[in-house]
Amino acid sequence: MNNTFYNEILTEHNINPFHKHEIENPNFKLEGINPSCGDDIVLELKVGDDGKIEDGSYVGDGCAISQASADMMLDLVIGKTKEEALRLTDIFLRMIKGNVTEEEKDELEEAGILEDISHMPARVKCAVLGWHTLQTVLEDGEGAVEGKTVSTENE
């Protein structure tokens, strides 16, 4: 991929993140941390009774990769069902491990640009932070869980 295009997308998601704010009355909320470099996000989701993700956001601090990845993830999953979001999460996590087809990567839309992170082991934890947080909150189905966090320490 064109390195300039990759940098432009990361920069855009960091300078003008669309989903970096709090939302009113989220029914799912979970903190994700990356202790190795200090990335810390709180993911908030509003999921309807039909299982569709109606809105989502994140707040927190971290490197450009963690913040851009979380923003791209929310672009992709808002409007999808929990099951669709979990499927896309699985594809993203397999992509980072180098185990995805081109068709699956295409489903990730803009988030597919992070494929080359798999060649940068120190950055993998950054890229997957938001995705692991999303996966955990949707699989646990516990809603807003105060005091519980997800860590990428063992990634």
Q: Mind spelling out the 3-state secondary structure of the chain?
A: CCHHHHHHHHHHHHHCCCCECCCCCCCEEEEEEECCCCEEEEEEEEECCCCEEEEEEEEEECCHHHHHHHHHHHHHHCCCEHHHHHHHHHHHHHHHCCCCCHHHHHHCHHHHHHHHHHHCHHHHHHHHHHHHHHHHHHHHCCCEEEEEEEECCCC
- Asked whether 19 and 70 are in contact (CB, 8 A), the reply is yes
β-sheet with 39-47: strand ranges across? 53-61, 39-47, 28-34, 144-151
Q: Which of 12-16, 78-82, 117-121, 124-128 has the lowest mean pLDDT?
A: 117-121
* Sign of the torsion formed by the C-alpha atoms of 7, 8, 9 and 14: positive
> What share of the chain has pLDDT > 70, as a percent?
87
Cβ neighbours, 10 Å, residue 109: 12
- pTM above 0.85? yes
Residue 144: its pLDDT value, please? 55
Residue scoring higher pLDDT (127 or 3): 127
Distance CA 120, CA 40 (A): 20
What are the tokens at 20?
Answer: 């970096």
Give the pLDDT mean for 109-114. Answer: 93
Residue 35: its pLDDT value, please? 87
Nearest to 42 by CA among 72, 4, 70, 75: 70
Residue 149 φ then ψ, to 5°? -135, 160
